[in-house]
Amino acid sequence: MTDKVALITGAARGQGRAHAERLSADGADVILIDIAGPLPPSVPYDSATPEDLAETAELVAANGRRALTAIVDTRDHDGMCAAVASGVAELGRLDVIVANAGICVPSTWDRVSARDFQDTIDINLVGTWNTVMAGARHIIDGGRGGSIILIGSAAGLTMEPFMIAYTASKHAITGLARSFAAELGKHRIRVNSLHPGSVVTPMGSERMVAAMADAAESNPVLRPGFVKQLIPDSIAMPEDIAAAVAWLASDEARYVTGAAIPVDVGVTGT
């Protein structure tokens, strides 16, 4: 990844921060985008802050690489295009896109409001589309090919109860990646989706766990799928997902495209 440039959304903390740390450690400069502000009121965990985003940039700098930050809501198509264009103008190129930003709102089907459903689809799906649309042309213009990685979820390969909007949005990510892979392949751009299971991030806050438990009381037969791990007593960390991102971003995965790759301790295999 030496001297390549990667765009990462949801970069202020959690998996996004881990991706930034890993790719910069591997030699890449990075464009870091995050909403760094209030999330929809239905989201049961705290929002990232501008200070979180600045801290990610500092960690990149500690790896000896450049980091440009922008506070943008990925739902804002024009804002995304402007931020990415500015970053590419300063860093000189774009090689990798990691569309990582997303939210999760656990609830029973009949307690999901129209607004809650729309917010999840807009951030997880439309925001991912905006990210690719803002960056893909810059990779094409570079003429060197590149890699686009859409962060899905194990829920996008199977199903996670009490997460209808989230599951729908992440299934859509799988199709989005395959469709982009088909059309961008002629530019030597690879597009894949990566599907984590449970990962230790701020999304897994006490309020999030409580919301999941509350929803599960409505139908105890539906055990959460993410607990069905094939390797017992394993806890995925953001760095584990970042390792897979780094592989997909690198030339070692140069013939991998249109794939939906789980990093979920086997929960989608049960």
Residues labelled catalytic: 166
Cβ contacts of residue 180 below 8 Å, gap of 6+?
A: 132, 136, 148, 191
**What is the C-alpha separation between 199 and 242, in angstroms, rounded?**
11
Strands (E), 2-77: 5-9, 29-34, 67-71
User: What SS3 state is found at 153?
Assistant: coil
Q: By the 8 A CB rule, do 199 and 19 touch?
A: no
Residue found by looking up tokens 């464009």 in the block: 31
Helix (H) or strand (E) holding 120: helix 114-121
